Amino acid sequence: MKEVVIIGGGPAGIGAAETLLSLGKNVAIVDTAPFVGGVPLELSCKGDIECTMCHVCMPRDASSRICTSEKLEVLSNSSLKSATLGPETAELEIVTSPRYVNPDKCIACGKCMAVCPVQGALIAPPHGAIPNAPSVDSELCKHFKSRDCDLCIQICPTKAFNFKEKQKAAKIQCKAIILSTGLEPIDPSGVLHYNYGLLPNVLTSLDAERIIVKHGELRRPSDNQKPKKIAIVQCVGSRTTKGGVEYCSKFCCKYGLRIARSFVERAPDAEVDFLYMDLRTFEPRVEALEWAAGKKNVKISQGVPSIVQPTEKDNLLVRRTNPGDVSIEENEYDMVVLSIGGQPRPETKVLAAKLSLEVDSFGFVSNDNRKIGVFVAGSCKSPMDIEESFADGKATGFAVIERLEVNK
């Protein structure tokens, strides 16, 4: 019997787990990804010189604190197949796909990563991920394609690999459930005038983060060179009826500004134009404006582009209307970063139905069903940034504690 099962291991799920574990509760985290930690695992720290309060480290640090708890069970590569709900207990059927590496045997020595001949076939655990063991992508792995590669098996000192592992199902009884599936990034391909997916140096903010994590700095995909002038465009896929969602995703301005700040700190001679519809940082607006005002190479101005077009050497021409005098302004950049918002994951609606929860017109699960012990935490119930989602998870953890105490 698990006291609490958390479905979704992003910032809210980690926050809830830390609260519950600190009070001695038995917790299982179920996540479809190979690693528990959510989107922050893909993001870079923005505090090269001083902390910019990007909060990427918040759920990672919490994961490090709870990963060794004997009361925690992590079911990665797993999903909820069915749920039988009752007033005091529930029974969940969980299906787990193989990762082909036993986390209990793996010592994270990295020898398998060094000998793997196919890039991406072995997925290394990001910093702060649970479990701290690689996962095999069977679609890329040479062993599954031709059966003539076992280099990782041969070099592993603890015999952690098992390519015969099969999908398995298990039933878990619990007293409470927390749904914390979070958001998925909006795909800006539907916003046709930005030409995302067609022009190599038009990136999403998440693309930019992944490049920084990989190289330690921002580089252009077209030639791997460091950009000297970039535009960061806000509200891409948010607050629109075409190719996105109608609501404000809430966190985009905040992390867009932090990407700009991080880029300038890493490349002091580079230029950044931060182009916004409305500046909604949900923190003192003057902070961002004062930072930009002190930088000759940073400009924050209202007015998002009407079109992004290619020029020579894979540069980009950005055309937009100047809100001040309605004139047309054109500027050339090495790179354009689209600050994208988030939307509920498609599986959230399916899970909500299984857990007797309702979704709103946007796909968010705004209300708990505490009568049967089902709670909702984090950005699957409304747009939240990392800090707010983590805090909401911890608060939900305390609400679950209250239910458990009442039903003793």
122-167 pLDDT tens trace: 999 998 899 999 999 999 999 998 888 999 999 999 999 999 999 9
Q: Would you state the structure tokens that stand for residue 43, as one six-digit string? A: 């993001």
Higher pLDDT, 288 or 77: 77
β-partners of residue 317 are 309, 332
- Which residues are CB-neighbours of 241 under 8 A, at least 6 positions away? none
CATH topology of domain 2-97+167-182+345-406: FAD/NAD(P)-binding domain (3.50.50)
pLDDT value of position 28:
98
Q: Would you state the structure tokens that stand for residue 347, as one six-digit string? A: 């599986």
Give the type of residue at 31: D
How many other C-beta atoms are found inside a 10 Å radius of the C-beta of residue 138?
A: 15
Lowest mean pLDDT among 40-44, 205-209, 348-352: 40-44
Q: For residue 282, is pLDDT > 70?
A: no
Band (405; pLDDT cuts 50, 70, 90) = confident
CA 407/CA 370 separation, integer angstroms: 12
Read off the pLDDT of each residue in 261-273 and give the average, rounded to a whole number: 89
Q: For residue 284, is pLDDT > 60?
A: no
Give the type of residue at 180: S
CA 1/CA 371 separation, integer angstroms: 19
Asked if 385 contacts 339 with a C-beta cutoff of 8 angstroms, the reply is: no
CATH topology of domain 186-342: FAD/NAD(P)-binding domain (3.50.50)
pLDDT in tens, 94-118: 999 999 999 999 999 999 999 999 9
Tell me phi and psi for residue 65, to 5 degrees.
-75, -30
Asked if 334 contacts 220 with a C-beta cutoff of 8 angstroms, the reply is: yes
pLDDT value of position 244:
87
- DSSP alpha helices (H): ranges in 83-224? 111-115, 142-146, 151-155, 205-215
Mean pLDDT (the chain) is 92
CA nearest 72: which of 27, 23, 42? 27
pLDDT value of position 286:
63
Question: Could you tell me what percent of the chain has a pLDDT over 70?
Answer: 97
H or E element at residue 390: helix 386-406
CA distances from 73 to 1, 103, 245, 329, 369 (A): 12, 12, 36, 56, 24
Rg (CA), the chain: 23
Residues making up the chain, counted from first to last:
408
Q: Is 370 buried (19+), middle (13-18) or exposed (0-12) by CB count in 10 A?
A: middle
Looking up tokens 């619990």 gives 174
pLDDT in tens, 360-395: 999 999 899 999 999 999 999 999 999 999 999 999
Domain locations in the chain as residue ranges = 2-97+167-182+345-406, 186-342
Asked if 244 contacts 237 with a C-beta cutoff of 8 angstroms, the reply is: yes
Give the type of residue at 348: T
Q: Is the peptide bond before 131 cis (omega within 30 degrees of 0)?
A: yes
Q: Is 164 buried (19+), middle (13-18) or exposed (0-12) by CB count in 10 A?
A: exposed
Q: Counting runs of H as helices and runs of E as strands, what totals does the chain give?
A: 10, 19
Band (294; pLDDT cuts 50, 70, 90) = confident
Q: For residue 285, is pLDDT > 60?
A: no
pLDDT in tens, 11-69: 999 999 999 999 999 999 999 999 999 999 988 887 766 777 778 889 999 999 999 99
Band (399; pLDDT cuts 50, 70, 90) = very high
Lowest mean pLDDT among 20-34, 198-212, 280-294, 340-354: 280-294
Q: For residue 73, is pLDDT > 80?
A: yes
Using DSSP's 3-state secondary structure scheme, residue 176 falls into strand
CA nearest 264: which of 234, 302, 226, 320? 226
Higher pLDDT, 267 or 101: 101
CA 378/CA 364 separation, integer angstroms: 10
pLDDT value of position 281:
63
Read off the pLDDT of each residue in 347-357 and give the average, rounded to a whole number: 96
